[in-house]
Amino acid sequence: MSRISEIYRGYRDALRESQARYEELYMARVGAVREFYRTWFHNLIITYPGRWKKQVYIDRIRRDAEAFFGRREIDFCAVDGSCFKDPFTDFMVFFGASYGVKGRLSLTGSPPHLKYERWSMDQDVSMVAYVPVPLAHINEAIGGNPEDQFLISEEDKINLANIHTKIMQLAEVYLAYHIASASTMEYPRLIILDHSLSSIFSSVERGTRTIGLIGYQLGQRRLNMRDVVVALSRPYSRELGVPSAKHFSLRRRLIAELTWNKGRPVDLSEFSRRENVDLAEVRRAAEALAGLGKVAINPPVATFKAPDRLSVAGGFDPELAWYDALRLFEDICYRLFLKKDQSALIYTVRDKDGERRRWMSPDDLDFLIAVGMRGLVERCWAKRILLVGIAKDSSTRFLSRHYLGVLRHVGAYPQVDVGLLPWTDRVFLEALAQSEPTIAAPWGSVEFDGVFMTLHLEEDPYSGKPEVRGMRGWVVLPPERLFLRSLAQFYLVRKPGTTRMGHVIFVDRLAYPQFDGKAFGTVEIKNRELGTIKPLVYLNNEVGNQMQELMMFFLDVLTRNLYPEVIGYPDPLHKADWGAKTLERRARDLIRSSEMAFRIRPISRLLRTTRDEAGR
């Protein structure tokens, strides 16, 4: 046997051994899954086929849809995106796009009728941006300063590699916002994004000091720090208590109180009693808003006068500041995606050397996405649009570790013995569906608050006891009572000796005061660093959750299982993916062909390239 054959054989044996260990580990944990489900976890699983066979449930779904949407014919739109980057000799071209597929779901018949519709010729549903950035300006595109030209860091490289994904995400958010802002007769009642809503909201959270757009011209004035702080305090909902009064978002809640009071001062003593927050902490937050604290906002949002009176700073209107930030988002996205004007991403900044033009950094794009998401949420609340996000693949354990761990710690769930479960939520629930014959598709878990993305149990280094913490101890994202998450499966067929199924997918939806307010306040999580957190909690499958059932019914109808490569996945999102990928393919051909323009106008061509093109 040759040396090369020995190497291949050794690799084959190692691979087989590793695969055998993996399968052994998986089968061992499947047993723990089955035991956990039959002991207690069955209380958190909802199986829908048994319910939907009864006409009384279908009639209730129709009534809930009519009560929420005001109609039984539901227009929907699914949005997906694509992106890539292509390095030229002297340029880096970033491409980002999103595409929307629309249709109508009629609940008047049995079964419900689904019909896809074409967009009219005057409707632009493809948000496309080509951004060619000269390599000489890359330092500015990643947020650097002129004096930093001799410095480069790993963070710079990561930021540079990430700009095209930010443009794609901005395109998706803007398309959803654009169609949600349509006239009364044209906007869809159901919008589905190919993203986790909680993840988008959390990933674009940035400190205000890194946003370079401060100073951007807005009509007759410039965007300032106060406008940014007010914009990031949105969205507001009195019924859901958003933003909350916990430590991390206390300043945002005070800005919301000023907005709700419409010019009347906020009594901090009364606010402290009502929200059960320490008055000294409330005062510190008020001092920051008034420009008196250590971490002050300049110019100040409010004025703080004794005894405990917080008023809006003279001449400042938080509502108008929000509309200005929203107008900035609309204007830049309109120019970038509809007018195809790449200069929308270039703006003027002032520094010690005077004025200069620079490209938007990833932090600037994150701010635009954050404003767009907040505007989209408020549009959906105002127009009663069901906003849903679908994530296909994830290695998270927000359900099996964060949510269950925290609720068991605070006493909402019993201290049930749990063996070693599979390593991710998706593998955990797919193993459950495969091993438990009582589960039938469509089925899903109970919904849990999106705040459990970061809220988790962590061992205290001093006492050795578990305690509830966020990121860095006190940072909790996304805001509680804003999004509800669940895991669901829409294709599962059992035959003797075999089980065929689609993947378990992750479903996010926006919380609605009219339906989800009843799940607010049943559980309280208190911590010295976090304050008091009151998430939306549906403790078990016996607690009525009309919006989840309505959403699952719609998604089940939209999941027609026509394409084996995406079986168990909503068809409109797959069609939107086709549209986005088609845009990407055409853009790649266009961008590659455009390299010819740089060949005939060379600035820094290589001698090797010139020699090889001569062909002699």
pLDDT digits (tens, 9 = 90+) for 97-118: 999 999 999 988 777 888 887 7
Distances (CA, A) of 358 to 86, 133, 171, 405: 21, 11, 21, 47
Taking phi first (over 0 means left), then psi (-120 to 50 degrees means alpha), and beta for anything else, what does residue 473 get? left
Q: Is the pLDDT of residue 428 over 60?
A: yes
How many whole angstroms separate alpha carbon 536 and alpha carbon 539?
9
Q: Is the pLDDT of residue 250 over 80?
A: yes
Q: Quote the pLDDT of residue 284.
A: 93
Q: Quote the pLDDT of residue 115.
A: 86
- Which of the residue ranges 213-222, 345-354, 461-470, 554-563 would you say has the lowest mean pLDDT? 345-354
pLDDT tier, 605 (very low <50, low <70, confident <90, very high otherwise): low
pLDDT tens-place string over residues 7-57: 888 888 899 999 888 888 888 899 999 999 999 999 999 999 998 988 888
E strand residue ranges, 446-602: 448-449, 456-459, 466-469, 483-489, 492-495, 498-501, 505-510, 525-527, 531-533
- Which of the residue ranges 130-139, 178-187, 263-272 would you say has the lowest mean pLDDT? 130-139
Contact 95, 129 (CB under 8 A): yes
Q: Quote the pLDDT of residue 313.
A: 93
DSSP characters over 69-110: HSSSEEEEEEEEEEEEEEE-SSEEEEEEEEEEEEEEEE-SSS
- If you ran DSSP here, which 8-state letter would residue 518 be given? G
Query: Among the ranges 212-216, 344-348, 478-482, which has the highest mean pLDDT value?
Result: 478-482
pLDDT tier, 197 (very low <50, low <70, confident <90, very high otherwise): very high
Q: What is the mean pLDDT of the chain?
A: 87
Average pLDDT over residues 475-483: 93
Q: Is the pLDDT of residue 198 over 90?
A: yes
Q: Quote the pLDDT of residue 120.
A: 56
pLDDT tens-place string over residues 122-173: 555 678 887 777 665 655 555 555 444 444 444 444 445 578 899 999 999 9
Q: Quote the pLDDT of residue 309.
A: 94
Q: Quote the pLDDT of residue 119.
A: 64
pTM score of the predicted model: 0.91
Q: Is the pLDDT of residue 614 over 90?
A: no
Percentage of the chain surpassing pLDDT 70?
A: 89
Q: Is the pLDDT of residue 268 over 60?
A: yes
pLDDT tens-place string over residues 390-416: 998 888 999 999 999 999 999 999 998
Between 123 and 367, the more confident residue is: 367
Distances (CA, A) of 193 to 77, 102, 574: 9, 12, 11
pLDDT tens-place string over residues 487-517: 999 999 998 888 899 999 999 999 999 899 8
Q: Is the pLDDT of residue 348 over 50?
A: yes
Average pLDDT over residues 527-546: 92
Contact 469, 527 (CB under 8 A): yes
3-state secondary structure of 484: strand
Q: Which two tokens stand for residue 518?
A: 């009843």
Percentage of the chain surpassing pLDDT 90?
A: 57
E strand residue ranges, 383-482: 386-391, 443-445, 448-449, 456-459, 466-469
Contact 195, 166 (CB under 8 A): no
Query: Among the ranges 23-37, 441-455, 471-485, which has the highest mean pLDDT value?
Result: 441-455
Determine phi and psi for 362, rounding to 5 degrees.
-55, -35
pLDDT tens-place string over residues 560-582: 998 888 999 999 999 999 999 99
